[in-house]
Structure 1
Amino acid sequence: MSTSPAPPLRFSAFVMNTTSHILQGLWRQPDAGQTDFNSLDHWVHLAKVLERGRFDFIFFADVVGLYGDYGGSYEKYVQSGLQIPSNDPSVIASAIAFNTTDLGIAVTSSVIQEHPFNFARKISTLDHASHGRIAWNIVTSALANAARNFGYDGLEEHDERYRWADEYVDVTYKLWEGSWDDGALLQDRTRGLHGDFNKIHKIHHAGKRYRVEGPHLVAPSPQRTPVLFQAGSSLAGRDFAARNAEAQFIISPGPDAARDLIDDTRRRVVAAGRKPGDLKFFQGLHFVIGSTEQEARRKELDLDEAIDLDGMVAHLSGAVGVDFGGHDLDTPLGDIAETDGTRSIVQWVQESVRGREATVRDLGLLQGRNSRVVGTPESIADQLQRWRDAGVDGINVVNATIPGSYEEFVDHVIPELQRRGLAQREYAPGTVRAKLFGTDLINDRHPAAQYRGAFTTAATTSP
């Protein structure tokens, strides 16, 4: 019995509209162009590189607040350019769309930062402008400063933030899928009828946080609902992804751990009434590429030398809400009082360091080396095969420098992956959802689909 070959891996470029995103301090390298993040030319050039390499997405991370204090202040973040300044990625999405033809554009937006009515309107506008190439990375924001920036006293409890997200996406689904019927936009010059009133509906949403009358002010875009990403791996995050996401961004330490997470989440997808393949998984990895293994290892040593370890620790501090900044980098981790926020991290580092006591410096070293793949294009392809065998559908490529990291990957690794059938040679036609799933619109198993036709006169007046 013959079996069809496994599909190629999908690729996205993990970027942020800032100078220093994941690998801190590398903006100081002579070939680093990420200090030009204010420039549209910078992003358009990168998008064209990615499209040449048949990447599926340029994936913009984002934050709407500062990370927590490091050494009692946010000074380190400012000095290092660590996600400050940080610009709104959605503002540049249309410029990228205008200068490309197939590349998907994924933007991160937290439920805290914009009312769902206005957000839905903006996304529909971008989906029209890009001919159906927009994706939304749904986040709840775990930064206390972000909450205070939008008038809250502090963060909501973790699981409550996901309940907030449930209502937020529910509003957007109603607007995108239910407010306009197919064929509502007529633009009939002869009859003088621009729209069919009977096919455009108010949604009358009334929930705990939002009251939205509608209708949606934008006619249906090519995808209606954008491709939906989600990045949380907590139990609440996995459940949210199982209900709502079409793609999930993960950062597992290895293929075996990725397999466990994927298997668990796919079981939740099925429990939510969907099929396992309705959710695709993108593993975050960064690459050190050499023409020989020896060259790759030399480049890795140079990379480690250039990384700002203090910046890496600062980023981790902000991410977990624990200030490691009051300690010298050589302080043993055992001398730092454990909290709920540090316990798992300390254990992870101590298990990774053999023959001596782990220090704060090791936090930075391990963060810099986490999810790193080193080698020749051939050995990198071997390693990516193992990730695909573990159930990973795509790779979210982390950069050291922009555009250099992506130019090198496109020029040297992608051809080897294409030769092995691990990367696509050409784009499929249509919207970005059609490229991923074969259909422009979200499938009928997704909760958004329940709102198709839900607000017609017959639907809203029937007993």
Structure 2
Amino acid sequence: MTTRRELRLNAFQMAAPSHNWAGLWRHPRDNQADYAKLSWWTDLARTAERGFLDGLFIADVFGLYDVYAGNGDAALAAGAQAPNADPVLAVSAMAHVTRHLGFGITQNLTYDHPFQFARRFTTLDHLTDGRLGWNIVTGYLDSGARGMGLAVSRDHDERYEAAEDFMAAVYKLWEGSWEDDAVVRDRAAGVFTRPDKVHRIVHDGPYYKVDARHLSEPSPQRTPVLYQAGTSDRGVRFAGCHAESVFLNGPTKPAAATAVRRVRDAAREAGRDPYDVLTFLGATVIVAPTSAEARDLRDEYRAYIDAAGQLALVSGWTGIDLSGLSLDDALSFARTNAIRSTVESLTRAARPTLVRDLLEFTPAGARAPVVVGSPVEVADELLSWVTETDVDGFNLVRTVMPESLDAVVDLLVPELQSRGAFKTAYRQGTLREKLFPARGARLPDSHPGAGFRPPAPRGDA
């Protein structure tokens, strides 16, 4: 029997009424409209941990989807990622009611500053006992830029140049400011921290400047597990250098295999082991006790998709206003400042993507696989994607909540476990130690962030 890497699964969520499928909050069994209640998040975390999921991956977008028809009305009316809440604030509560579940939080660096950002994520890494990950994004919505007093977002590739500068600054703060033995908590001597072991960080970059000591003592991981989701050429280079986990979309197995291979090649070119980067593919899974029941659920859910809201999402992802197209019009390629990999996949597929395809539970609409069936059928299909694409796992897109996650935990996970394809217990330790056994809690020496650590003290000659 061929040895298989451990399958990884994240619950893919967002602090909004609808995530990737606009309008499903209207379903009579759905509770996504309660996204602003803390109990919604703590219940979600308990369910995910009951199913031994690796993490809760929380998406975010900074701005309103207003490309469609030139305004944000359709997104607001449909609850299509609007309104949305800050994804950070519920994490400490979810960590309090779980022991092992990891948390991958999407945070836009463009409108933040490394000095305050580093403290926020060090604090969360402490409060989660080292179960924190950061999904590094640069933002692409002009509405967010205008909200921050700018005319437009930075150009696509410039966003990554700024991100490189931001990463250098936070690595210096997380890895280089405080020595491991700086905090002594010496009650008798009245010394909490040895000042000589807390170093001033000076970063004079083209986009960000820092001149300070990091405000927080080292957390269990120091640097959180680093996620990244950009699959443009520039995004892949960035991922190859920095990411420990990459979130991909791919509507077909060949497309997903190509995306995985590009990430692994980029890691190799950056001097890293290609398998030091975990790859997660987005997937919409509708699983029920029987195939017929699953197909019935799919048809039932489909009736609640809000057409205008869904097209508002796709217009925002692509930067292409779809409001003037009919259902049978095909999408045409256009170079935009939005998510270039999405534009490519929707407009340069072997079969033209029609507007109506975006309103169905199809790979085109999902930008990723849609798997519908019994536990056996769904497990077969997911594992076939692993075999044929070299992907490590899946970010499971929510449909109707909480039943979509309940079904994964109660039906799919036991089937995967029965095949030896999914864990039956969590490993001990931080999120990094759970995802990368035997690696340790902190960035490996092969990661560029480790290069910002102070030199080890030399012994006596």
TM range (shorter): over 0.9
Confirm or deny: 8 A CA contact 1:304 1:368 kept in the other structure.
Answer: no
User: Offset at 1:277?
Assistant: 1.3
Pairing 1:411-426 to 2, within 5 Å after superposition: 411-426=410-425
Distance 1:136 1:230 in 2: 8
> What corresponds to 2:308 in structure 1?
310
1:351 aligns with 2:358: no
> What corresponds to 2:400 in structure 1?
401
Match of 1:188 among 180, 186, 189: 186
Q: Closer, same or farther in 2 for the Cα pair 1:396/1:190, shift >3 Å?
A: same
> What corresponds to 2:446 in structure 1?
445
SS at match of 1:71: helix
1:131-164 Cα deviation digits (max 9, x unpaired): 0001000001111111122222212111110000
Q: Closer, same or farther in 2 for the Cα pair 1:177/1:71, shift >3 Å?
A: same
Distance 1:70 1:142 in 2: 15
* Worse-matched range after superposition: 65-74 or 197-206: 65-74
Distance 1:75 1:52 in 2: 38
> What corresponds to 1:218 in structure 2?
216
SS at match of 2:22: coil
User: Offset at 1:86?
Assistant: 0.5
1:82-118 Cα deviation digits (max 9, x unpaired): 1111000111111111111100011111111211110
> What corresponds to 1:461 in structure 2?
none
Distance 1:69 1:143 in 2: 9
Q: Closer, same or farther in 2 for the Cα pair 1:346/1:125, shift >3 Å?
A: closer
1:188-239 Cα deviation digits (max 9, x unpaired): 0111111111211011111111110121010000000000000011010100
> What corresponds to 1:69 in structure 2?
67
Distance 1:426 1:408 in 2: 19
Match of 2:357 among 313, 338, 362: 362
1:336-357 Cα deviation digits (max 9, x unpaired): 876335974664578157xxxx
User: What 5-or-longer segments of structure 2 have no aligned partner?
Assistant: 337-341
Q: Closer, same or farther in 2 for the Cα pair 1:364/1:242, shift >3 Å?
A: same
Distance 2:22 2:457 in 1: 56
> What corresponds to 1:430 in structure 2?
429
> What corresponds to 2:106 in structure 1?
108
Normalised by the size of structure 2, how large is the TM-score? Answer: 0.93
User: Offset at 1:331?
Assistant: 5.2
Confirm or deny: 8 A CA contact 2:318 2:343 kept in the other structure.
Answer: no
* Worse-matched range after superposition: 445-454 or 132-141: 445-454
> What corresponds to 1:139 in structure 2?
137
> What corresponds to 1:374 in structure 2?
372
SS at match of 2:299: helix
User: Offset at 1:72?
Assistant: 2.8
User: Offset at 1:377?
Assistant: 0.4
Q: Closer, same or farther in 2 for the Cα pair 1:345/1:188, shift >3 Å?
A: closer
Confirm or deny: 8 A CA contact 1:283 1:395 kept in the other structure.
Answer: yes
Confirm or deny: 8 A CA contact 1:349 1:363 kept in the other structure.
Answer: no
SS at match of 2:302: helix
Structure 2: which amino acid aligns with 1:42? W
Match of 1:40 among 34, 38, 41: 38
Pairing 1:196-235 to 2, within 5 Å after superposition: 196-235=194-233
Pairing 1:295-306 to 2, within 5 Å after superposition: 295-306=293-304
Q: Closer, same or farther in 2 for the Cα pair 1:343/1:107, shift >3 Å?
A: closer
Distance 1:95 1:157 in 2: 37
1:275-323 Cα deviation digits (max 9, x unpaired): 1111000011011113222222222222222222332211101111111
- The percent of aligned pairs where both chains have the same amino acid is 40
User: What 5-or-longer segments of structure 1 have no aligned partner?
Assistant: 459-463
> What corresponds to 2:121 in structure 1?
123
RMSD: 2.0
Structure 1: which amino acid aligns with 2:446? R
Confirm or deny: 8 A CA contact 2:243 2:277 kept in the other structure.
Answer: yes
SS at match of 2:212: coil
Confirm or deny: 8 A CA contact 1:252 1:258 kept in the other structure.
Answer: yes
Match of 1:387 among 385, 388, 394: 385
Match of 1:177 among 162, 175, 178: 175
Distance 1:407 1:346 in 2: 31
Confirm or deny: 8 A CA contact 1:284 1:395 kept in the other structure.
Answer: yes
